[in-house]
Amino acid sequence: MDTIFFESIAFYAYHGAFAEENKLGQRFLVDLELKLDLAPAAATDDLEKTINYAEVYQAVKTEVEDQTHTLVETVAERVAARLLSDFPLLQEVRVKVTKPDPPIPGHYRAVGVDIRRGRS
């Protein structure tokens, strides 16, 4: 299985368990791995035989920015479900949602979730 990947797509959104996160918002980074067979697209140079990166970006942007959720787990799950629904060539997706600046005490670079979902 081949992979199309996106690294650190940055969004500003209003997800979080604390009221200030829902009011003030914060940065979110999304990493994606899209698993599919890229050989037909490579052999024919045909965009219809692969996944359009711009369409993926727009789908993820809509899921991350247009709604508010308490958990980043929910955000990741909705992104994965949306991508599997919108792109029939996609066999499996990995979605990593990172909060680089969460309002919790401690010293760390970031917190987040990393999920994998595929077709049944």
**Which alpha helices (H) appear in the chain, and where do they start and end?**
19-24, 39-44, 53-65, 72-86
Identify the CATH number of the domain in which residue 72 sits.
3.30.1130.10
The count of domains in the chain is 1
Q: What is the pLDDT of residue 104?
A: 87
Q: What is the pLDDT of residue 67?
A: 94
**Across 93-114, average pLDDT:** 94
Residue 56 belongs to what domain range? Answer: 2-118
At 20, list the tokens: 């200030």
Q: Return the active site residues.
A: 99
- pLDDT tens-place string over residues 62-102: 999 999 999 999 999 999 999 999 999 999 999 999 999 88
Q: Is the pLDDT score of 5 beyond 90?
A: yes
| 92 CB-near residues (< 8 Å, 6+ apart) | 1, 34, 35, 116, 117, 118, 119
| 113 CB-near residues (< 8 Å, 6+ apart) | 72, 73, 76, 96, 97
